[in-house]
Amino acid sequence: MNKTIAGFSKMTKDEKIEWIAKHYFSSPDAAIEIVKKYWNSDVVLQQLHDEFIENTITNFYVPLGVAPNFLINGRNYTIPMAIEESSVVAAASKSAKFWATRGGFKTTVIATEKIGQVHFLFAGGSEKLVPFFNQIKPSFFDETEALTKNMRQRGGGILNIELKDKTDLIPNYYQLHVTFETKDSMGANFINSCLEQLAKTLKNKALAYDLFATEEKEIEVVMSILSNYVPNCVVRAEVSCPVEDLKEKHIENPEAFAQRFVQAVRIAEVEPYRAVTHNKGIMNGIDAVVIATGNDFRAVEAGVHAYAAKNGTYSSLSHATIDNGHFRFWLGIPLALGTVGGLTGLHPLVKFCMEMLEKPSAKELMEVVAVAGLAQNFAALRSLTTTGIQEGHMKMHLNNILNQFQVTNEERNVIKSHFKNETISHSAVVNFIETLRK
């Protein structure tokens, strides 16, 4: 059967679903039923969701949970987390409760600078390009005034424009390297609009520049685009306390725990295979809040992982020390986030989450997101260095296994009672279900 189609985007939503069901499913009616089951009964709300992206056929639900009791810079937060992975919200909540009685989380926004670049080719050499750039640099600011006016009124705009010589990497390759301040917006559209205007100015000024030969006047702009690598848009989050204050139910010997914890972090600092999983755990917390607040988790992921490799080897984003009997655990990460624009003004649940966070500024949201990552990392490392990661995770995962096998409430109670003191694994649960049903 031919599964190619012309004009798919012009079909109605029902027509798209019917075509998919007919061409890909042995039971088309059942496929259509499951897709439509996730439509919202509120027609206006459903249309809003339909228009977020192209070729929408239904909604794909991800649970929205909350982690309460976060004490950040002396202020209490309940943090929204949109994520499908079990144990993440529970772990964050547990860390929040642990540190709330030990001084809470401390955060500092180190910088909020964002980057965009105009990538271009010039055949005349840097000895001609540099004086040309210095001469026309004021024009870059003049000819983007209309675009930057509103942002400048809020205290943002274009901070600086530099000429970067990259001819050692690619022949004739140069950049306009532009730094921006976008205040409470993530600023992608603003940055890209400014960059495209800078590219036009660059090309037009080159055509009128007397000191360029004819073949040099045609500067070839390859592309103009923001960068999701923002090493100067960084927030730091940390926790600390006397080592003896780490004592709790699963930490009977706080000195030994602190030593193992620091050693575990040190391993992630030097071993990339461990660092990737270590940082993935951090991103469990970060991504969940980024998604819940309508920000771009893919951009955040790309920038954070590039930052983790900034010294040439992929390494841990978090660090820990013991100094004179004092335990300290922290991370510094780049986060380009927004609290205005994009989905923040459209998605009803994003609005809900922002209000729950008491309508934070972009800087405050950076702090909350970083703390969620640090809390998640602390919970994971505490488990790894005490009871082991699987004990808590598999208890949370048990519900997913039971749902997969559609157990009754009576069966659920028996199974949970059995595994209260037994090791949980997928095979063990499946075997017990089969035995119970016999």
Q: What backbone torsions phi and psi does residue 5 show, to the nearest 5 degrees?
A: -150, 140
Residue in 299, 287, 160 with CA at minimum distance from that of residue 226: 299
The CA distance from 435 to 438, in Å, is 5
The CA distance from 58 to 36, in Å, is 7
Angstrom distances, CA of residue 63 to CA of 66, 73, 397: 10, 28, 15
Given the residues 18, 50, 85, 248, select the one marked as catalytic.
85
Tell me whether residue 280 is one of the annotated catalytic residues: yes
Tell me whether residue 393 is one of the annotated catalytic residues: yes
Residue in 327, 341, 326, 339 with CA at minimum distance from that of residue 367: 339
Given the residues 184, 196, 296, 364, select the one marked as catalytic.
296
Cα of 94 vs its chain's centroid, Å: 22
Given the residues 49, 137, 280, 416, select the one marked as catalytic.
280
Q: Given CA atoms 421, 423, 424, 429 in this order, what sign does their dihedral have?
A: negative
Tell me whether residue 301 is one of the annotated catalytic residues: no
Q: Which residues pair with 80 in a beta bridge?
A: 66
Catalytically annotated residues: 85, 280, 296, 393
